[in-house]
Structure formats: structure tokens, C-alpha cells
Amino acid sequence: MLIGYARVSKSDGSQTLDLQQDALIKAGVEPEYIYKDLASGRKDARPGLDACLKALQPGNTLVVWKLDRLGRDLKHLINLVDDLRKRDIGFKVLTGHGAQINTTTANGRLVFGIFAALAEFERELIIERTRAGLVAARARGRNGGRPRKMDKHTLKMAMAAMSDPKSVAAEVAKRLGITTTTLYMYVNGDGSLKEAGSKLLKSGDMA
């Protein structure tokens, strides 16, 4: 089964979904299986995409008009595509720079595999950076126990680790030597900063 997703950035009527929907229907997606969002890809919540990803089942193919309709940024896109691969869900892009992605073809599967490799590479980098940071922290005398307060270095490692959708907050906090409560005081679940985290990065002192 083909499942479509369409998005425009503005909900004020200056942009419409008609072009994307027409292209998806022409590609074989039934209108009732097209999920939609009227939201910025980078900042706004996207309930349409959330519902689309939940609806997808093994053997389905997700179809989008252009690659930039799907991901918030490159990292988010890579993680999404890799998650589809692991769930045995196909992915097809109809036009634009990503039009060569179509897992129903050999070349498309090759590109899909490159995305998976990039996702794995990104996860390994996060793990490597976190471990290196912990080693550096121990070298400065923090050899065990929990630091009393969050500092900039720990915060940056927390942001990197939490940006991985597969990370578990409790495990990240344990690796960094802080409590989960402290972690969530500064960082959101997707690795973005909360107000306290933003203030800490802008300051020159501990927080």
C-alpha cells in the first residue's frame, strides 16, 4: 500500500497542498491515505506526520513530493529514513533532488542504504563524542559520583546524545553523571535547549 505525506510551511492560505496532493494521487496514492500538515518543517509540531508514521505498516511505501517535505533537517531526515528501513517500509520521492530515492528499484535501494549508513555513522559519532567528553571530565578530576551542577561541556554532550531519537534519557543522564531531572531541566527530549540551557550556554559561569 502507498501512503502519502504532504506539507506546506504556512497555514495562512498563501500556500496550498494541491500540487503535492495531485502528484501523490497521480503516483497511485489514494486520497484517503494522504496525511497533511500546514506547518514549518523546522519548528512547528506536525501531527499529520506523526499520524502518518504510526499508520505505516511493514510492506507499505511512504511517498512524498519532495525530500524537504519530510525532515526538519538532514539529521532528522536520515533518522526517519533509517527507521523506515528497519520497519521494512519503502520510501519514494517523486521530484527534486531526492527523486532517485525509490526502494522499489535497485538504484533506489542503494541510495536508501547510504541513508542507513549515514544514520549509523551519526550515532557512532554521538557515542564517540560522549565517551571522549566523559574521559576528559575524569581527567579534570571528576572521577565518579554526580556533579552538583550542570556545566556547558556536559550540556553540549547532553544535547548531542538526546538529539538521537533512539536515546533513553535515563541512560544519557547516567553516562553524563547527572540525574534525569537535571537533564530535563536544561534539555528537551529531542536535544533542543530549554530556557535554563540557553541561559547556561550564554553565560560564562556554572548554572
Q: Say what the pLDDT of residue 138 is.
A: 67
Q: What is the pLDDT of residue 68?
A: 81
Task: Write down the catalytic residue from 9, 14, 40, 203.
Answer: 9
Task: State how far the Cα of 90 lies from the Cα of 76, in Å rounded to an integer.
Answer: 17
The answer to whether the predicted template modeling score (pTM) of the entire model surpasses 0.85 is: no
> Greater confidence, 11 or 146?
11
Catalytic site includes residue 11: no
Per-residue pLDDT tens over the stretch 60-102: 999 999 888 887 677 777 778 878 888 989 888 898 766 677 7
Residues 6+ apart with CB under 8 A from 64: 4, 5, 6, 70, 92, 93, 94
DSSP bridge partners of 64: 5, 93
* Domains of the chain and CATH, by start: 2-119 (3.40.50.1390), 145-202 (no CATH)
What pLDDT does residue 207 have?
Answer: 42
Q: What is the pLDDT of residue 31?
A: 94
Predicted local confidence at residue 206, as pLDDT: 43
